[in-house]
Amino acid sequence: MENIIKQIEDKYKALGQNPETYLKGLLHAKPMNYWEYVQVDALLNLQNTRTDFSDELIFIIYHQVTELLLKLVKHEIGQIIFSDDINSDLFLEKIERSNRYTEILNSSFGVMSKGMNYEDYNKFRLSLAPASGFQSVQFREVEIYTTDIINLVKTEFKEKATSIEKSFEYLYWLDAGLDRRTGNKSLTLLQFEEKYLQHLINTAEKCKKINLAQKFSKINNTDKNYEALKNALRKFDYLFNIRWPLTHLETAESYLIEKGIKRDATGMSDWQKYLHPSYQRRIFFPNLWSEEELKNWGYFII
């Protein structure tokens, strides 16, 4: 006890503060409880449905769950890329954590694919246009934290992507919201760019020398964790860029196709083509895959 009080005294003295004030403050402070710490009331007040269909609640909550897990993925990757002296043990630990979060996203997607009434979904979703999961900025931030921006540029435009800013005109995900012949952008894309484009360009500038792919390239291939790290990064690439997209696409197909006829999505993309990983070819670590694997992107399991 004495030792702790001494440490408290030292802490506040070092800050130029009177320790007695803080000790008296402790005396009056209310004990913590679960609901205030976790902010349960605030959390449970964030589900504002736009219709009276009861399954809309599931749709909102599962999107929120996804955003929280994406925040955790970003949190882990952020600790690697924004640290000056990350060692390979910590690097590996944080990628394995990111993989676990992404696995949760994949294994829980049944909440969406099986969990909503088909007819009701196809009614309440019309009240949400032109909003789309496509507008998830955290999804794009994970990409930018993880790989060089050139890996997010469509293959046929790579030569034109001469700077970060220019690359943003040729990103793969513009295919969901831009008619490249007319140059017309969908409202979903216009809204997203107005809110986030500059932020994403700034993030890409900030991450260009420190993103995950860059950090991994600095790890010596004689490092004891090199092989494990390589496999963990391959796994992350697979989970985020093949497994999740396929699960998500299967879900979209189960709700948006009726008797073989494809319905428009709220974001108005040519979604069945766009969402397939073999079309997007979003590959974070192309150097870690064989020619064969790259050729079959989207069609293999690891």
DSSP secondary structure letter of residue 239: I
Q: Which is nearer to ligand HEM, 129 or 228 (CB)?
A: 129
- Binding of ligand HEM by 241 (CB under 6 A): no
Question: Dihedral sign, CA of 44, 49, 53, 59?
Answer: negative
Instruction: Considering only residues 185 through 214, tell me which ones interact with ligand HEM, judged by CB under 6 A.
Output: none
Phi (first) and psi of residue 29, to 5 degrees: -65, 140
CB 51 within 8 A of CB 127: yes
Shortest CA distance to 244 belongs to which of 95, 78, 99, 68? Answer: 99
Instruction: Name which position in 95, 141, 251, 285 contacts ligand HEM (CB under 6 A).
Output: 251
Shortest CA distance to 271 belongs to which of 186, 200, 169? Answer: 186
**Least distance from ligand HEM to the Cβ atom of residue 133, Å:** 2
**Least distance from ligand HEM to the Cβ atom of residue 132, Å:** 3
Which ranges of 114-178 would DSSP assign to H, the alpha helix? 118-124, 137-146, 164-167
Distance CA 279, CA 287 (A): 19
Instruction: Considering only residues 117 through 156, tell me which ones interact with ligand HEM, judged by CB under 6 A.
Output: 132-134, 136, 139
Distance CA 115, CA 167 (A): 38
Instruction: Name which position in 146, 151, 269, 284 contacts ligand HEM (CB under 6 A).
Output: 269
- Binding of ligand HEM by 248 (CB under 6 A): yes
> Segment near ligand HEM (CB under 6 A), from 142-150, 153-161, 231-239, 260-268?
260-268
Shortest CA distance to 253 belongs to which of 272, 268, 269? Answer: 272
Instruction: Name which position in 204, 246, 252, 283 contacts ligand HEM (CB under 6 A).
Output: 252
**What SS3 class is residue 171?**
strand
- Binding of ligand HEM by 271 (CB under 6 A): yes
Report the Cα 297 to chain-centroid distance in Å: 20
Compute and round to an integer the Cα radius of gyration of the chain: 23
Instruction: Name which position in 144, 176, 189, 229 contacts ligand HEM (CB under 6 A).
Output: 176
Instruction: Name which position in 94, 256, 283, 297 contacts ligand HEM (CB under 6 A).
Output: 256
**Least distance from ligand HEM to the Cβ atom of residue 161, Å:** 18
Site size with ligand HEM, rule: CB under 6 A: 24
- Binding of ligand HEM by 98 (CB under 6 A): no
185 contact partners, CB below 8 Å, separation of at least 6: 177, 178, 179, 193
Q: Which is nearer to ligand HEM, 200 or 256 (CB)?
A: 256
**Least distance from ligand HEM to the Cβ atom of residue 275, Å:** 6
Site track 55-74 with ligand HEM (rule: CB under 6 A), x = hit: -------xx--x--------
Interface residue list for ligand HEM (CB under 6 A): 62-63, 66, 112, 132-134, 136, 139, 173, 176, 248, 251-252, 255-256, 265-269, 271, 275, 280
